[in-house]
A and B are shown apart, each in its own frame.
Chain A
Amino acid sequence: MTQPLKLRRVPAGNSFLRRLSADRPARAVYVALALLIVLGWLLFALDGGRFLSQENIVGIQQRSAALGIVAIGQTLVILAGSLDLSVAYLISLTSLVAAEIMAGADANVPAAVAAVLAVSALTGLVNGLIVTRLRVHAFIATLGVALIIRGALDERYDGPAGGVPESFQHLGYDRVGPFPVSALLWAAVGACAWLLLSRTRLGYRIYAVGGDAEVARLSGVRTERVVVAVHVLCSVCAGIAGLLLASRLGAGAPTVGTDGGYDLESIAAVVLGGTALAGGRGGVAGTVGGVLLLAVLDSIFNQLEVNSFAKDVVRGVVLVAALAIHARRRRTA
């Protein structure tokens, strides 16, 4: 070498700090979350309440759990460059499947859980096969599947049906110390997804397919299998959320998924968490941050007794503003 090279030195340290460095798309949402918590604390204080009271923290966790679980599934699909609009109806369907099979009896719980997992996995398989084999745009494919599920729901149910035994309702209402069981379930699903993405071959391939399907293919990745797998996993997450909501309601309900707006809100939470809608960049940590951000926002509104419709407005503004800031940072980076 004739002259010393002056290549930009990239920080080579390890561990935790690096994970939160600027390269991590999740960082922004946690900064925003921290600011929001401080803001919430101030507002509560002025209002004479305690933001960090156990009651409020539990409330935030409970509100987040179902959306959080769905959003984790949605994260996997979006990371692989796809999308799932069928989760809301699938949640309704699985809540009904669970409640009807349980029919109020403890003994039926395992069968009901198994049935829910089977139904949701099958739905995901159908989604995945339509996207990969029939080459239908994921938007249309999952929208079509959503409509099909909706037809089945409309045909069979007018209102809540089935019954969940008391033992199963613990899932929705109990807590361990300051942690509701539902939040622990969410954490468990999140941990599994994190492990999947960061430590398994499938996880690595999800990023590869979403980042550049052609590069993945040239490296010997079977891209279609990966897409089918993420759709199955996402639908299973929706099924788990359906179980959780059934345990909360004590019954299955044909509108529980759509009333919660889980389809679009889960996508919103994912992109708030810094995951790129086009795939290949982001992760579960960001999504958890995104869901918590929405929940903390909710809790602040509740305390201030702001009209519930104002929440939607603020959510919309937050969503668009966050993405605009994100687009700007990416361009200048």
Chain B
Amino acid sequence: MRRALPIFVVLAGLLVAIAIANPYFLEPPAFLAFVKRAAPLVILAAGQYFVIVSGEFDLSVGSLVTAEVVIAARLIDGSAAATWPVLGLLIVVGALIGLVNGIVTTLLRVPSFITTLGTLLILSGAVFLWTGGAPRGALSPQFRELGRGSLGPVPWSVLILVAVAAAAIYAMRAGFGHTLVATGDNDRAAALSGVRVARVRTAAFMISGLSAAVAAILLGGFAGVSAQVGQGLEFQAITAVVLGGVALGGGRGSVVAAMAGAFTLEALFTLLNLYGISGALEPAVQGVIIIAAVALGAVNLPRSRAAAAP
């Protein structure tokens, strides 16, 4: 938890700063709206966390989100009846893409950076090939309800986020989570202790794919159909995870901190907007912050493996 603490301090500080600029922010409707806006990125970060903590990368989630939204629009095409079957299909597609990423990485031993880069290219090409260039069709109101609507005062996406977060935390506390972290820390020791390293890593990729599917469902509802809906999300998700103190290379960091990292990014954007810093400078500030955060983390933590005496 020691590694995770700074991100919560930063997050709290940002929330306070937002509240000072906008006193209504901490009231339930405004705050829930903030959480709702953050939900897709938080879910993606949770999924990406599983892959990163196992020692790999998943660059394919952004284009997977786009693909899922485009597929949904084309298949649903405004029809209420098609909504639920298509939702199920999206989930299956997400898991399947993750399975392919995992198998190629573990069994064919392609570095995950390249595997998922390949998947990124394939997905973005394939989807538009299929739809003929631009997204076609439309999402049904029922589908968009998940991203836009609410149950009483609480947005659906917040409820879904809570469910996803609970599932992620549960998974990390269960035996699976522990073997996953073990694999990321030292895959040789894990294998010699009987961990099925390939299977565990593949499962992590599937979780990441699933999280992309859920994020796509929320984003499709929230923002509607476009070809840019998932653009850059893979890097935002990785940024969020790293901000949460999770080490690239695996074995260290918690899923709660990774999600907090995503909230922090979103809070940062909100704050910049409030203070009238245009959307254009957003990425620049994000860039500075991520470098600074990781640099501070690197300075504080001595390199663990090399440190010990002979």
Contacts and interface: CB of A to CB of B under 8 A. Distances in A.
Chains A and B in contact, CB within 8 Å = yes
Interface of A: 130, 134-137, 139-141, 143-152, 154-155, 264, 267-268, 271, 277-278, 307, 309-317, 319-320, 323-324, 327-328, 331
B307 interface: no
A151 B109 CA distance: 37
A313 B130 CA distance: 11
Contacts of B123: 316
A267 B118 CA distance: 11
Majority DSSP secondary structure for residues of A touching B = helix
Contacts, number: 148
Interface in B255-289: 278-288
A-B CB proximity, top 10 nearest? A151-B284, A312-B125, A147-B287, A316-B121, A316-B122, A154-B280, A320-B118, A134-B295, A148-B287, A144-B291
Given A140-B242, A309-B125, 5 more contacts: A148-B288, A155-B278, A268-B114, A307-B129, A320-B115
B126 interface: yes
A150 B287 CA distance: 9
A324 B281 contact: no
Contacts of B239: 140, 143
Nearest to A157: B280
B123 to A, nearest CB: 8
A266 to B, nearest CB: 11
Interface size class of B (residues with CB under 8 A): 35 or more
Interface string B65-90: 00000000000000000000000000
A318 B114 CA distance: 11
Contacts of A139: 57, 238, 248
Given A140-B242, A143-B239, A319-B114, A312 B290 contact: no
A311 B129 CA distance: 10
B120 A264 contact: yes
Contacts of A144: 286-288, 290-291
A307 B280 CA distance: 33
B120 A150 contact: no
Contacts of A134: 291, 294-295, 298-299
A225 B196 CA distance: 41
- Interface-centre pick from B249, B279, B294 (highest chain A CB count, 10 A): B294
A268 B278 CA distance: 34
A316 B120 contact: yes
A315 B125 CA distance: 9
A328 B111 CA distance: 12
B130 to A, nearest CB: 8
Contact of B291 (A130, A149, A320): A130
